[in-house]
Chains A and B, each alone.
Chain A
Amino acid sequence: MNLESNPLSTRIAALELENPTILASGIMGYSAESLHRVAKGGAGAVVTKSIGIEPRVGYANPTVVQAESGLINAMGLPNPGIDLYAEEIKYSKIVLRVPLIVSVFGYSAEEYAAVAKKAVDAGADAVELNVSCPHVKQTGSEIGQHPKLLAEAVEEVKAAISKPTIVKLSPNVTDITAIARTAVEAGADALTAVNTLKAMAIDSETMRPVLSNIKGGLSGPAIKPVALRCVYDVREALPDVPIIGCGGITGWSDAVEFFLAGACAVQVGSAVALEDTEVFQAITKGVKVYLRKKHYGSVKEIVNLAHRS
């Protein structure tokens, strides 16, 4: 398809997407078969589970708990380690017709770089650095909240690979624009805003936290207004970096709001539970109808429009 004439196409650094919906990291992203199924459900790109250098079994259950308007999860970054996962990346590249973004986590800048390099060598079209997982110590948010650590990780990864490096930002910071700026100055090609909000659930009957890890990350409709504000703020601070909106996107109108706030694509995660893998094509279809109704020729034309006033 000619992406120039496709009103739904979008570009994230060097990545060309046929539509602006992306599978968020952590959702169904272990196997090539799962990723393929999500792509067939209409995703314009897919992000894998977060992969580290060594295998991790993650936390004991409960790892997911239903909140009023979202889900709280603390999976604990379960993953088979990059060496084993490289085979899955290779196979994914054979079956997928959409860009494959490998989510990467590490305990040091060197680990981020080593995993990113192996992922790209296996065929990843881009990497997304999970520097914002809110419930695993010494990684994720610890790095995502410390400008110096974050800059080191991004620089090491950039030096190791030639594919786009996306940094997934944590909303659990005082000023998201400061961290975003650090990431971009260190070489990030794009940003994903945002990861889950630190949260917990307590059961009154047993008087205990429900998650085995006690704390986790809140996703789903509950965090949409916060995520939208984060995208808006980052766009104000950094007018040029591509932003992928993420947080509570369930339908086409959510996606449109993120485009208007400054995102050029959106990631969808929790909504897969509610509306299954077809949620991607449902969002894309709705966006298309919206564009026609509003007399816009493409998604690109509405990005940032909420900043006009």
Chain B
Amino acid sequence: MGVLKKLSTSLIAANTIRTTEIVQIRTESSTVKTFIIPDRLCSKAKPGQFLMVWIPGVDEIPMSIMDAANGLVSVSVKQVGDATRHLHSMKAGETVGIRGPFGNSFTESRGRVLLVSGGTGTAPLLFLAKQLAAKTERLSFVEGAKTKDELLFIRELNSVCNEKNLITTTEDGTYGLQCLVTEPLSSLLDKEKFDMIYTCGPEVMVKKIFELTEQRKLPIEASLERLMRCGIGLCGSCVIGKYRVCRDGPVFTAAQLREVKDELGVSKMGFDGSRIPF
């Protein structure tokens, strides 16, 4: 009971909305901006966790955390719809509301690790890479995007994992290898031994990567994304199989991914609770 009480108290604190001024906004690409926000609770977040950003009068959206330290938390936001368009139009000094941090986090694996990201899925994996860099024997990173402009955090990744351990791919060949991120992965997994694979990105990509790791019986942790409302495991909007992405995830292990493989990369729940194909 004591443990539960403590858990309840910390969840209530995390779930209480805090309005705060954005201190800095960085442009990462033509569609992605990073928002740096002061928040004591979220500045202690672990890689893989997410927060809810309230854009007053517009919407509240889940964002995975890209960095957290010294009283600040950063989220990298791609402009994809109404809420993110409003957020992109905001300036430093303007006010947003924050709830969180929510969800579980990536486990810290030692030895040889491989991180695979697609699009804005790079943000939480950059956070993870920074934390793992000093602890692992070797850290390799494969990043993919549609085009060069969308290939995020190349400079940061180069400094975290040493240039030769970074593979980049673009679908149009404007930077790195011209292929899908999954392509160089097969040979990499065959050639080298990894103790853990971490991934985050479009779910169809995650599904393919999971298939590759399953064929080779490799451990994997994947961060998934769903429509979210409450963020605390109540409303059931973000479910995949029996799991709630907000509460049981967003990071899932190979064993859990196996349980939801019929839905993974196949369908997700829409705002009306119906299943929408990817």
Contact partner of B7 among A60, A75, A79, A274, CB < 8 A? Answer: A274
Give chain A's interface residue range (CB within 8 Å of chain B).
35 or more
Interface string of A11-36 (1 = CB under 8 A from B): 00000000000000011111101101
Q: Please, how many angstroms separate the alpha-carbon atoms of A7 and B11 in the complex?
A: 34
Given A78-B273, A274-B11, A275-B8: A64 in contact with B242 (beta carbons within 8 A): no
- Determine, out of B51-59, B125-133, B147-155, the stretch whose residues face the partner at the interface: B51-59
Cβ-based interface call for A212 (8 A): yes
List CB contacts (< 8 Å) of B215-236 with chain A: 229-236
- Evaluate contact between A34 and B271: CB separation under 8 angstroms: no
- Evaluate contact between B242 and A33: CB separation under 8 angstroms: yes
Residues of the B chain whose Cβ atoms lie less than 8 Å from the Cβ of A269 = 234
Residues of the A chain whose Cβ atoms lie less than 8 Å from the Cβ of B97 = 62, 203, 206, 210
Contact partner of A210 among B17, B247, B272, CB < 8 A? Answer: B17
- Evaluate contact between A64 and B229: CB separation under 8 angstroms: yes
Q: Give B15's nearest chain A residue, CB to CB.
A: A66
Residues of the A chain whose Cβ atoms lie less than 8 Å from the Cβ of B58 = 60
List CB contacts (< 8 Å) of B2-61 with chain A: 4, 7-8, 11-12, 15-17, 19, 52, 54, 56-61
Q: Please, how many angstroms separate the alpha-carbon atoms of A259 and B61 in the complex?
A: 40
- Evaluate contact between A34 and B242: CB separation under 8 angstroms: yes
Cβ-based interface call for A147 (8 A): no
Q: Please, how many angstroms separate the alpha-carbon atoms of A172 and B273 in the complex?
A: 28
Residues of the B chain whose Cβ atoms lie less than 8 Å from the Cβ of A185 = none
- Evaluate contact between B272 and A61: CB separation under 8 angstroms: no
Interface string of B93-134 (1 = CB under 8 A from A): 001010100000000000000000000000000000000000
Q: What's the nearest-Cβ distance from chain B to residue A18, in Å?
A: 21
Cβ-based interface call for A199 (8 A): no
Contact partner of B272 among A28, A81, A203, CB < 8 A? Answer: A81
- Determine, out of A49-57, A237-245, A288-296, A299-307, the stretch whose residues face the partner at the interface: A49-57
Cβ-based interface call for B167 (8 A): no
Q: How many A-B residue pairs have CB under 8 A?
A: 123
Q: What's the nearest-Cβ distance from chain B to residue A278, in Å?
A: 10
Q: What's the nearest-Cβ distance from chain B to residue A48, in Å?
A: 10
- Evaluate contact between A28 and B239: CB separation under 8 angstroms: yes
Cβ-based interface call for A37 (8 A): yes
Cβ-based interface call for A159 (8 A): no
- Evaluate contact between A37 and B242: CB separation under 8 angstroms: yes
Q: Please, how many angstroms separate the alpha-carbon atoms of A65 and B54 in the complex?
A: 11
- Evaluate contact between B235 and A57: CB separation under 8 angstroms: no
Contact partner of A273 among B56, B60, B234, B270, CB < 8 A? Answer: B234
Residues of the B chain whose Cβ atoms lie less than 8 Å from the Cβ of A206 = 19, 56-57, 95, 97
Contact partner of B274 among A58, A75, A80, CB < 8 A? Answer: A80
- Evaluate contact between A208 and B239: CB separation under 8 angstroms: no
Given A57-B271, A78-B272: A63 in contact with B17 (beta carbons within 8 A): no
Cβ-based interface call for B185 (8 A): no
Cβ-based interface call for B241 (8 A): yes
Q: Please, how many angstroms separate the alpha-carbon atoms of A36 and B236 in the complex?
A: 13
- Evaluate contact between B235 and A63: CB separation under 8 angstroms: yes
Residue from the set A33, A61, A270, A273 with the largest chain B CB neighbour count within 10 Å: A61
Q: Please, how many angstroms separate the alpha-carbon atoms of A206 and B229 in the complex?
A: 21
Q: Please, how many angstroms separate the alpha-carbon atoms of A109 and B250 in the complex?
A: 42
Interface string of B48-86 (1 = CB under 8 A from A): 000010101111110000000000000000000000000
- Evaluate contact between B272 and A79: CB separation under 8 angstroms: yes
- Evaluate contact between A65 and B236: CB separation under 8 angstroms: no
Interface string of B237-258 (1 = CB under 8 A from A): 1010110100100000000000
Cβ-based interface call for B269 (8 A): yes
Q: Please, how many angstroms separate the alpha-carbon atoms of A78 and B229 in the complex?
A: 11
Q: What's the nearest-Cβ distance from chain B to residue A47, in Å?
A: 12
Q: What's the nearest-Cβ distance from chain B to residue A231, in Å?
A: 23
- Evaluate contact between B19 and A203: CB separation under 8 angstroms: yes
Q: Please, how many angstroms separate the alpha-carbon atoms of A53 and B216 in the complex?
A: 48
Residues of the A chain whose Cβ atoms lie less than 8 Å from the Cβ of B7 = 274-275
Q: Give A278's nearest chain B residue, CB to CB.
A: B4
- Evaluate contact between B11 and A62: CB separation under 8 angstroms: no
- Evaluate contact between A84 and B274: CB separation under 8 angstroms: yes
Q: What's the nearest-Cβ distance from chain A to residue B244, in Å?
A: 7
Can you list 19 A-B pairs with a CB-CB distance of less than 8 A?
A28-B233, A29-B236, A34-B236, A55-B272, A57-B271, A58-B229, A58-B272, A62-B54, A62-B60, A78-B273, A80-B272, A84-B274, A206-B57, A208-B57, A273-B11, A273-B233, A274-B12, A275-B4, A276-B247
Apart from the given pairs A27-B234, A64-B229, A203-B97, 13 other A-B contacts in the complex at a CB distance below 8 Å: A29-B236, A31-B239, A49-B236, A61-B60, A61-B229, A62-B17, A63-B235, A64-B231, A80-B274, A81-B272, A85-B273, A273-B232, A274-B11
Binding site for B on A (CB under 8 A): 26-31, 33-34, 36-37, 49, 55-58, 60-66, 71, 73, 75, 78-81, 84-85, 203, 205-206, 208, 210, 212, 269-270, 272-276
The 7 closest A-B pairs by CB, nearest first: A61-B60, A28-B236, A205-B19, A57-B271, A80-B274, A64-B230, A55-B272
